[in-house]
Chain A
Amino acid sequence: MRLRTTAVVGALLLLTGCGAADMTKQASPFANAQGAKTVTLSVQSWVGAQANVAVAEYLLEHELGYRVDTVQVDEVPAWDALSQGRVDAILEDWGHPEQEQRYVKDKKTIAHGGDLGVTGHIGWFVPTYFAKQHPDVTDWKNLDKYASQLRTPESGGKGQLLDGSPSYVTNDKALVKNLDLDYQVVFAGSEAAQITQIRQFAKERKPFLTYWYTPQWLFEKVPMTEVKLPPYEEGCDADPEKVACAYPHTPLQKYLNADFARNGGEAAALLKNFKWTTEDQNQVSLMIADQKLTPQEAAKKWVNGHESTWRAWLP
């Protein structure tokens, strides 16, 4: 390995001369091909984020004449890619204080792009059909009573709390421990797997308890009711080991690469102005994830019906 790397590097040094090359300033090789103006957007793995990107992509391509590349990157690495300029914008961020401190405040390689207009909230949910039968399940104090009904082969002898992708913000393991619940956190490993599992449960009207978040299109398909956790107070989630309170409500944010924000022209202006509502986003998400339209078709449909909304975003 070492041998090989040295060989590569030696050869490359000969090839490129010995000037400095800052790898934090290298764009994607697929960007701006053939003189096209290209914008690279980061798509996170959940469908709401795909909806933002699809509409932004449609407008950039059809109204402003850009070519849009999208790359799927997890949240934290996306910040890194954004600071290096391999991605030009993140359209939906759920709050990463550590990264914000490093890249926006210290290094100034990322610029804040304003509110997305959507407020996000994470919580524990049970299906509404189950909550109707057992109204007291919506208080965390009563969850232990139902643990036996929520058992699965994966959760051992305890009730199952279904968690999703490892990239999502979660305190669930600490919560279960600190609230002393008879539950086992089972990580689905990806949102796709989690959704598939939830839909299978719902089809059979089985009870389940899951980590979930709003806005999310799945609520339209599988109505779910939130379980009340001890109320959120400022700073109660400061120590990840000792968290024993609910998740906050987060106004979702946009972030742009600093250079792109300065020199990105009309594209940067459009992305800064981009602001819509939870309903708008859900409408597009539902078309993508449930009616299985391609993101482009879904965006087209939405754009055709909401001209007054997006006209205001155009520079």
Chain B
Amino acid sequence: MAAVTAPTVRAGLPGLLRHRALAKLALLALAAAVLVPVVGARWASGSWPDALTVDLSEPLGRASEWIIDNRDSHPLFLYFLGHVSNTVVLCVRAVYLVLLAAGWAGVTAAAALVAWRVAGVRAALGTGLAFLACGLLGMWVPTMQTLALMVVAVLASVVLGALLGLAAGLSDRTYRVLRPVLDTMQVLPAFAYLLPVVLVFGIGVPAAVLATVVYAAPPMARLTALGLRGADPGVLEAVASLGATARQRLVTARLPLARGELLLGLNQTIMMALSMAVIASVIGAGGLGDRVYQALASVDVGAALAAGIPIVLLAVVLDRVTGAAGARLGGDGPENSGRSSALLWGGAAVLAVAVAVAARLAGRREWPEAWAVNIAEPVNRAVDWMTAHLYSGVPYLGGTADWAGHFTTWVLDPLRSGLQGLPWWSVLFLVATVAWLIGTWRTALTAVLAMAATGVLGVWEPSLDTLSQVLAAVAVTLVLGFATGVAAARSDRVERLLRPVLDVFQTMPQFVYLIPVVALFGVGRAPAVAAAVVYALPAVVRITAQGLRQVDPAALESARSLGATGAQQLRQVQLPLARPALLLAVNQGVVLVLAVVIIGGLVGGGALGYDVVFGLAQGDLATGLVAGVAIVCLGLVLDRVTQPTERRRVKQGA
């Protein structure tokens, strides 16, 4: 996911904060004292009471049967969803055919030239090399399939997101309604989106595209709304005083002023679409994601990596090009007049077509098989060596399997049995307390209701199981992430070294991690936690480092002049001042960890993730959907519990 810009908010007044916290605690204690005896007398304490659950498996099962039986006859499907699905298929096919017709030379040339026009020569070179690398890895056709799917999904997301953002940017009421919805969609694990679309559209490309659109449109909508609302009121006033109509104001002032946000939105949408395109391979998206998924079935890390690298390359290229375009537009200075710019674009188009035609005439439209490089074998050898030597019996340290065993026995098990052993109402109070102390009473209320919802759905125990894994993974992530982040903030060299590593780990499809972690940590919850830590670490490191670096230099300077040592500066000045950024890092860490812990269902993580996988695999939508909703609830709880109040004001989309 894209970088998160840390806010630079000075720390609040500690005295006042403590005061308010105490008041909140007192109020909660009072509520607990009144409610607990009542609740305890009415229902048994311990696990969630049966009397308060609703069994949805019956109606959900019936609904899914009904859909399968009526899919080819009911008007809703024939005249409505059928067209949706048909259009998606037609669009993807059209793009795919164009890409195939252009051939590898044409596509590479066109991509490089577009990158040159919007982002400069270096981006163009990078783009060209990235596409050639996809071909070299023997992944040209899958790359084109993924690209076709992505183009359609991103266009649809951008159009939808922009329309919604426009509505929310211009109307306060729409904004109030949409904002919580979009905020929430942002934190949901991608896995939770798959089942509903599969239920309606069945396995295949239409379902994959629609899931991607639903997943990727919210950032566009949010940032569009944000950009429109953030326009400088002085400029708007000036335009209005010139007698411009509302529409003129929008087109000539507000939209151009918001273009930075619009491009950031495009960037985020592309990144999210790409990560979803891989996960959607579980529901038949085809392309690169499917190659990764198939390679995992034969425990072939090398082949999985060969398909994973093109995804990373695509992601890095798209990220850099849209980012550079945004920076150019932001730093206003159109060096070229409109005419010469049009001329250059025209020249680029002609050149791209010429390359495509030349390659076609030379009979080189398809990527030549002889040019493929096989990286699978060396990678697999390296992985084998690693697992053979690290798995167990390393002197003094013990092997990774031993660590995993200890981690499961000493951390995961007590945490899980502790959570599951708590009376259900105390879990709710715990959630309320934490959420209220960090956020507002609203976030606390949402969190409590969402937590209760998992109980009502009858998945209290698995939800707590998942929660225990998330908590353990977050703890590890934060310890490692803060340490690395502090190191990166204090040394430019460390940061330079880390940057490409972080880029790669953030864009690598999560599936690729799963097999090496099993090889190292065995089957169970420990590998799920390990994969989650690897996935969430980059964001945490990045936000921490950024937050520490943005601390007011004057404050640091004065600390230094008072003779504070490095450690003292860090502890007493930098960390307190960067508190909002650190809280944001926690929040991001939690959300990302949840996303991967769910996927951990594929490597023995059990709990909710397994239920979703089971639902998808067996077509048992009742189990899968209930687990999916529970994941959504858990995501809400975790997000709200860690949501610092400042985030609302400064959030830039993560």
Contacts and interface: CB of A to CB of B under 8 A. Distances in A.
Contact of A188 (B377, B519, B603): B603
B614 A166 contact: yes
B205 to A, nearest CB: 5
Nearest to B285: A71
Nearest to B101: A34
22 contacts: A1-B181, A4-B217, A16-B87, A20-B78, A21-B86, A26-B204, A28-B205, A33-B96, A33-B100, A47-B297, A75-B617, A80-B68, A80-B202, A152-B524, A186-B604, A188-B604, A189-B523, A191-B297, A192-B515, A193-B515, A196-B518, A289-B298
Interface stretch (B8-16, B405-413, B472-480, B583-591): B405-413
Measured as residues with beta carbon below 8 angstroms from the partner, the interface class of chain A is: 35 or more
Interface in A97-136: 102
Interface string A132-170: 000000000000000000001110100000100111000
B284 interface: yes
A86 B86 CA distance: 12
Given A81-B284, A154-B523, A192-B296, A200 B83 contact: no
Which of A19, A24, A29, A153 counts the most B-chain CB atoms under 10 A from its CB?
A: A29
B126 interface: no
Contacts of A80: 68, 202-203, 619
B405 A153 contact: yes
Given A3-B164, A189-B601, A28 B286 contact: yes
A34 B100 contact: yes
A64 interface: no
B93 A30 contact: yes
B156 interface: yes
Interface in A210-259: none
B164 A20 contact: no
A314 interface: no
Nearest to B93: A29
B160 A292 contact: no
- Size category of the B interface is 35 or more
A80 B59 CA distance: 20
A195 interface: yes
A9 interface: yes
Contacts of A19: 79
Interface string B64-96: 000010011000011111111111111011001
A313 interface: no
Interface stretch (B236-244, B387-395, B540-548, B644-652): B387-395
A296 B24 CA distance: 66
Contacts of B77: 22-23
A12 interface: yes
B52 to A, nearest CB: 25
Interface of B: 68, 71-72, 77-90, 92-93, 96-97, 100-101, 145, 148, 156, 160, 163-164, 181, 198, 201-206, 214, 217, 281, 283-284, 286, 290, 293-294, 296-300, 302-303, 376-377, 380, 387-388, 391-392, 401, 404-405, 408-409, 413, 514-515, 518-519, 522-527, 600-606, 609-610, 613-614, 616-619
Given A23-B81, A188-B523, A167 B286 contact: no
B89 to A, nearest CB: 5
Contacts of B92: 29-30
B62 to A, nearest CB: 15
Interface in A1-47: 1, 3-4, 7-9, 12-13, 15-16, 18-30, 33-34, 43, 45-47
B164 A4 contact: yes
B204 A81 contact: yes
A21 B515 contact: no
B465 to A, nearest CB: 12
B401 to A, nearest CB: 7
A72 B614 contact: no
A76 B201 contact: no
A73 B83 contact: no
B387 to A, nearest CB: 7
Q: Which 4 A-B pairs have the closest CB atoms?
A: A167-B617, A21-B82, A76-B619, A166-B614
Contact of B202 (A8, A50, A81, A187): A81
